[in-house]
Amino acid sequence: MKLLDILFGRTRPAKPTLERLFAMSTASVTLRVTLQLEFSGRAGLCFRPLPSSRFGAAEEEMRQLVEGPATDHKVDIRSCEDSYGFRWLVLEHPQVEELVALIHMSSLTLQEHRFGEQLLAGVFKFLEGERAVYWIYSYKRGTFYPFVPAAGERTRDTAMEMRLCALLEKELPIEADTSRWFPLWGIPV
């Protein structure tokens, strides 16, 4: 932070802490064994796009890197925009470890091109029967939090979210401030 930023009370967003994403690989085992939550095979990266050719080139490089790795299973990739204008890179692969690595690699690509502050969230989808249970990684905070939509319009199962946090607080960097557990309605993952 520069002196003028301090004097005028301006803050700059923190650089994303990308290595914390890898904690999801081990946490997924606990979710499966302890709570019978199965990984859906889907994950997503949400970021704020910029209308510049430099950003477009970074996004294309990110896409090529994700399509490039040789894996046992093909990674399905699609890109879409949500109703708020944020871009989503949605990945499908049966192994959570593979998707964690691809989300990390994609995030690193944007960060290397100096677009790290555009990263918003990494999302990993698990299933409890037919019900979706999401783990959201906040790039701005470097922490995870659960999001469990409940039956009904724009309601969430906060009891389940608290239970998930209690179970995984030793395995994941959990966001301590629950007011920052932002719901992501209409996740395309």
- 75 vs 134: which has the higher pLDDT: 134
Please state the rounded mean pLDDT for residues 123-130.
95
**Nearest Cα to 20, choosing from 94, 86, 118, 103?**
103
Rounded CA gap, 169 and 171, in Å? 6
Q: Does the pLDDT at position 43 exceed 90?
A: yes
pLDDT for the residue 4? 58
pLDDT more than 90, % of the chain: 54
CB contact at 8 A, 84 and 186: no
Rounded CA gap, 134 and 148, in Å? 6
Q: Does the pLDDT at position 71 exceed 60?
A: no
* Predicted confidence band of residue 42 (pLDDT cuts 50, 70, 90): very high
Please state the rounded mean pLDDT for residues 34-60.
86
Please give the C-alpha separations between residue 185 and each of 69, 80, 99, in angstroms, as whole numbers. 31, 15, 22
Q: What end-to-end distance do the CA atoms of the chain give, in Å?
A: 36
* pTM for this prediction: 0.84
Strands 87-92 and 131-138: unpaired
As a whole number, the mean pLDDT across the chain is: 86
Please state the rounded mean pLDDT for residues 112-137.
92
Q: Which two tokens stand for residue 58?
A: 């970074």
Rounded CA gap, 162 and 77, in Å? 32
